[in-house]
Structure 1
Amino acid sequence: MAPVEDAVDIRSAAAEAAAELAAVRKDILRIATAGSVDDGKSTLIGRLLYDSKAIFEDQYEAVERASAGGDYVNLALLTDGLRAEREQGITIDVAYRYFSTPRRTFIMADTPGHVQYTRNMVTGASTADLAIVLVDARKGMVEQSRRHAFLASLLRVPHLVVAVNKMDLVDWSEQTYESIRDEFTSFAAKLNVPDLTVVPISALHGDNVVSRSANSPWYDGSSLLHHLEHVHVASDRNLVDTRFPVQFVIRPQSDAYHDYRGYAGTVASGVLRPGDEVQVLPSGLTTTIAAIDGPRGPVDEAFAPMSVTVRLTDDLDVSRGDTICRPANAPQVTQDLDAMVCWMTDEPLRPRQRIAVKHTTRTVRAVVKELQYRLDVNTLHRDLGAGELGLNDIGRVRLRTTQPLFTDDYARNRVTGRFILIDEATNRTVGAGMLTPAGG
C-alpha cells in the first residue's frame, strides 16, 4: 500500500476511534414522559426532536403534509407511528426516540396517557433516570397525573419534572402555574420523590422547551432542555453491590477455543474487575475473575449496564439464572417475595393463584400467598379488605416461589429488586413487581 493511502487509513481510523470514544463518554439520560391523554407528551417530544435538529428534512416534510394544512405542524406525528394512534390522536404503545446535544445523549420513551394503557407507562418508566409528567394548564392535576407521578415514585425514578403545558391557552397566567406547582408539590410530599422540578411550557410553540421564553418573565428557572442536559444522574447508579446475572454460557466447539468457557450477561450493578474474588449463587462456591471480555475484546472493568462475558479461574457449575456477586456482599436468597405489584391484564390477580415469576435471568413458578392491600393512587389509601387486583390496580402481594431467587430491595437495586409475572398458560406478561422490605 502506498504511503499516502497508509496515512489516509491511519487518519480515518483515528477519526473513527475519536468519534467512538466521544460517543462512549457522552452521558446518556433515559427519559419517560407521563401524564393524561391530550396533555401533549408526543408534541413535546416532537418539539425536542425538531428544535434539537434530530429529524431529517424529509421527515419534517412528511409530517407537515400529514398535518392536513392546519395552522401548526402536528409534531406528535413524529412519535405516534401506529395507524390507530394517528386516527384517534392518542398514544397507545411505547415509542422510543433518540436525540443528542453536544452535552448529552437522550433516550426518550413516549408512554401512553390513557388509563387503559397504564401498563405501557410502567414499561417505559421502569428503566428511566428521569420522568416528565405533563399537566394541561387548563385542567390542572387530574387522576392520571397523580397516577403517573405515583408510579414514577414507586418505580424509584430518581428525578421528576412537571411540565405545565399549554400555558399559551391560559395567557401565561402566573397564578395558574403557581396553583398547579403548589398542588403537585403537596402531592409529591406524600411520595418518595427526591428531586422535583416544575417548568411552564408550550410544547406547540416551543416556549421554555429548548430556550427561555419572553412570555414568562415571572419564571426564573431554566428551560426544559437545559435542565435535562444538566441534571446529575451519575450518583444514582449503584456501584457498591456487585450483581451479575448469568444469561448464557459460552462454550465454543471449535478447536481454536476448546478451552474457552465464559458467562455472558449484563452487569446489574457494582463493578467487576479481573482478579476480584466472587461467589456464584445458588451453589455458594467462590473463585476469582480470570478475565472480562467485551464486544471488542478484553476490558479492565465492567459496570452497569455493560454487556460482557466473565471468565472464572476455576471450572464451576454455572448456568443461566445463576448470579455472580461478592462473597461479603451477596443478595438475599429467598423464596418469599413481598412486593408492590402493578397488575396489567383483565383477568384479576387473586390469592392462591399460580403464576410464573421472571427475575433477572431466572424464571421460577410461584403461588400468590396473600393480597395484603390494594392502593388507591389518588388518596394513597390502603384497602385492606381487597380480595383481588384488577387491570391497572396496584397492591402489596406476597408470593412463594418453588426455587430461591437472589434479590435486593427495589429501593437499593432497581434491577435485582424487580420482576415480572407471567401467565403460564398464555406466556403473557400480566404484572410487574417491585420488592419491598417485609412489613413495609
Structure 2
Amino acid sequence: MELLRFFTAGNVDDGKSTLIGRLLYDSESISTDIIETLTRQSKTTGINSDIDLALLTDGLRAEREQGITIDVAYKYFTTEKRKFIIADTPGHIQYTRNMFTGASNANLAIILVDARNGITDQTKRHSIISSILGIPHVLVCVNKMDLVNYSETVYNEIQAAYTEFAAPLNLKQVSFIPTSALAGDNVVHTSEKLSWYDGPSLLGFLETIENAENQQKEEPRFQVQYVIRPQTDELHDYRGYAGSILSGHFRVGDSVQVLPSGLETRVSAIELNRKNVQEAFRGEAVVIHLAEDLDVSRGNTIVPVDQLPRTEKSLEATICWMDNTPFQPGQKLLLQQNSFRTKAVLKELSGKIDIHSYEQLESDGSLKLNDFAHVTIKTAEAVSTDPYSVNRKTGSFVLINENTNNTVAAGIFN
C-alpha cells in the first residue's frame, strides 16, 4: 500500500495538534483504550468538550502543561487507500530547527492558518522552509472557520493573500482547504456549513493527491552499513555488505562502482531476509555481494557505473544551525551522511537566508540558533552526494561537534 509522509506547521494555537487528533479520531484510527485514556486526561485541560484531541500528539509533560507543541510528534494511520506518517511540528519560532528536521522527509506540507488572523510571519517562515526543502506539495489549511461564521469571503481573502506572498518561493504545487478541526468540519467528512466549498475534505485530499516520492525516478544508491565477514569453517569465503537501499533498485549482474575508491565490479548476489533474490528495491534491507574481493568498508557507496553521483571534498550546501552555541570559525566538525562519517570544517559562509522574507543576505561570518546559510564544506574524505532536489537520502546530512558529539546543524546539498 502506498505511503504518504506529511507534516503540519503553523502558529502556536492555530490548531495543528487538534487537526491531527480530529483526523485520527473521525477516521476511526484510534483504539478504544487510548480514547478512554484521553477522555480522562481531558477533564484536567478545561476544554469545552468531552475529549481534547490535541493530547494525541502533545506527548511531553511540558507540552501538555503549556498547551503547545515542542518536540516533533509522529503519528501513523492507515485508510483503505493509503498509509500515512504525520509529523506534527512546533509552532514557536524558537523551535524552528525541530520543524526543519520534521519536514525533511515529507512529501506534503500542511500549513495551518487561523481564519481570524490570516497570513502571519510564522506562516511565511514555514512556507519559506518548505521552499528551501523543495517540498513537492503545500496545502494551506484555513482552520477555525467556525470562528468566522464559515465565511467564504474570509477564506477567499486568505487564499489571495497567500498566493501573492508565495509567488516568488517557487513552491511546486499549492492547494487550499477550509476546516474547523475542533468542530470536525471538512476534516474527514465534508460539511454543509461549508456548502460554498466544492473541493474534497482534508482526508479526501490526502488519499488522492499524487505522491511525488513514487513519481521521482531516483538513481540507484546503496551505502554500506556493515561488512559481514564470518570467517567460519562453513562460511570461510563469505563477504557481504549489509545496508538499506537508499534509492532506486539493484539487480544481480549490475555493473557497479564503489565510492569513493572508484573501483568497479558487478553485483554477484543479493540476499533479502536470508534468501537470494534477483533484485531489490528502495528501502529494503539487504546484503549485497560483489564479484571481486575489494576494499569496501562502512560508509562506502555502491552505485551503477553509468549513474555516478558527485564525489568531492568541497561541498556546496544549505544548512540550518541547530546548536544553542553559535558557530565558531575553525570549529572541528564531523559530517554524517547516513552511515558515512568524515571530519569537516565550514570553509566559507557565502550568504544567509532571511526566513522571514526569503531575502538572500550577505554573510557576516556568524551562525546562531535557527540561522539558515549557504556554506562551503571541506571534508577530509571525498563524499558521494546528489543534489537534495534529486535524491533526499544522499542529498542530506548533519554536522556534529567533534568535541561534544552534539548535532550542531542539518543541511542539504545544493
57, 60, 64: which is aligned to 2:32? 57
Instruction: Work out the CA distance in 1 between the residues paired with 2:200 and 2:130.
Output: 22
Who is 2:157 aligned against?
179
| 1:396 CA drift (Å) | 0.8
Who is 2:276 aligned against?
298
Secondary structure, counterpart of 1:314 in structure 2: coil
Q: Does structure 1 residue 107 correspond to structure 2 residue 85?
A: yes
201, 211, 235: which is aligned to 1:223? 201
Who is 1:43 aligned against?
18
Over 3 Å counting, the alpha-carbon distance change for 1:299 and 1:190 in structure 2 is farther
Who is 2:390 aligned against?
412
Who is 2:6 aligned against?
31
| 1:328 CA drift (Å) | 1.4
Over 3 Å counting, the alpha-carbon distance change for 1:198 and 1:384 in structure 2 is same
Contact 2:258 2:300 in 1 (8 A): yes
What's the CA shift string for 1:206-246, capped at 9, x where partnerless? 11111111111121111111111111115655434111111
| 1:374 CA drift (Å) | 1.4
Secondary structure, counterpart of 2:320 in structure 1: strand
Over 3 Å counting, the alpha-carbon distance change for 1:394 and 1:58 in structure 2 is same
Over 3 Å counting, the alpha-carbon distance change for 1:107 and 1:299 in structure 2 is farther
Instruction: Work out the CA distance in 2 between the residues paired with 1:139 and 1:386.
Output: 34
Q: Displaced runs of 4+ in structure 1, greater than 6 A?
A: none
| 1:351 CA drift (Å) | 4.1
Provide the TM-score with structure 2 as the length reference.
0.95
Secondary structure, counterpart of 1:346 in structure 2: coil
Contact 2:5 2:84 in 1 (8 A): yes
Who is 1:286 aligned against?
264
Over 3 Å counting, the alpha-carbon distance change for 1:296 and 1:149 in structure 2 is farther
| 1:191 CA drift (Å) | 1.5
Who is 2:115 aligned against?
137
| 1:168 CA drift (Å) | 0.6
| 1:350 CA drift (Å) | 4.6
Any stretches of 5+ residues in structure 1 without a counterpart?
A: 1-25
Secondary structure, counterpart of 1:434 in structure 2: strand
Who is 2:47 aligned against?
70
Secondary structure, counterpart of 1:291 in structure 2: strand
| 1:273 CA drift (Å) | 0.8
What's the CA shift string for 1:364-405, capped at 9, x where partnerless? 111211111111112211221423121111111111111110
Contact 2:218 2:390 in 1 (8 A): no
Structure 2 counterpart of 1:31, one-letter code: F
Secondary structure, counterpart of 2:193 in structure 1: coil
Of residues 326-335 and 344-353 in structure 1, the stretch that sits farther from structure 2 once superposed is 344-353
Q: Quote the sequence identity (%).
A: 52
RMSD, aligned α-carbons = 1.6
Structure 1 counterpart of 2:38, one-letter code: V
Instruction: Work out the CA distance in 2 between the residues paired with 1:138 and 1:180.
Output: 10
Over 3 Å counting, the alpha-carbon distance change for 1:290 and 1:115 in structure 2 is same
| 1:253 CA drift (Å) | 4.2
Secondary structure, counterpart of 1:215 in structure 2: helix
Who is 2:138 aligned against?
160
Instruction: Work out the CA distance in 2 between the residues paired with 1:130 and 1:63.
Output: 28
Secondary structure, counterpart of 1:71 in structure 2: coil
Contact 1:350 1:371 in 2 (8 A): no
Q: Does structure 1 residue 119 correspond to structure 2 residue 65?
A: no
What's the CA shift string for 1:166-218, capped at 9, x where partnerless? 11111111121112112222222212321211111111111111111111112
Secondary structure, counterpart of 1:409 in structure 2: coil
Over 3 Å counting, the alpha-carbon distance change for 1:153 and 1:298 in structure 2 is farther
Contact 2:136 2:212 in 1 (8 A): no
Secondary structure, counterpart of 1:315 in structure 2: coil
Contact 1:351 1:370 in 2 (8 A): no
Contact 1:239 1:303 in 2 (8 A): no
Q: Does structure 1 residue 357 correspond to structure 2 residue 321?
A: no
Contact 1:350 1:368 in 2 (8 A): no
| 1:267 CA drift (Å) | 1.5
Instruction: Work out the CA distance in 1 between the residues paired with 2:63 and 2:123.
Output: 21
Structure 1 counterpart of 2:386, one-letter code: D
Contact 2:218 2:391 in 1 (8 A): no
Aligned length: 411
| 1:260 CA drift (Å) | 2.3
Contact 1:351 1:371 in 2 (8 A): no
Who is 1:272 aligned against?
250
Contact 2:349 2:363 in 1 (8 A): no
Contact 1:355 1:366 in 2 (8 A): yes
Any stretches of 5+ residues in structure 2 without a counterpart?
A: none
What's the CA shift string for 1:310-337, capped at 9, x where partnerless? 1112211111011000111111111111
What's the CA shift string for 1:390-423, capped at 9, x where partnerless? 1111111111111110111111111111111111
Who is 1:7 aligned against?
none
Contact 1:237 1:269 in 2 (8 A): no
Higher relative contact order (CA 8 A, sep 6+): 2
Instruction: Work out the CA distance in 1 between the residues paired with 2:221 and 2:313.
Output: 18
Instruction: Work out the CA distance in 1 between the residues paired with 2:13 and 2:338.
Output: 35
Who is 1:87 aligned against?
65
Instruction: Work out the CA distance in 2 between the residues paired with 1:353 and 1:260.
Output: 42
Instruction: Work out the CA distance in 2 between the residues paired with 1:397 and 1:234.
Output: 28
Of residues 229-238 and 310-319 in structure 1, the stretch that sits farther from structure 2 once superposed is 229-238
Q: Does structure 1 residue 245 correspond to structure 2 residue 214?
A: no
Who is 1:16 aligned against?
none
Instruction: Work out the CA distance in 1 between the residues paired with 2:275 and 2:258.
Output: 24
Secondary structure, counterpart of 2:169 in structure 1: coil
Who is 2:300 aligned against?
322
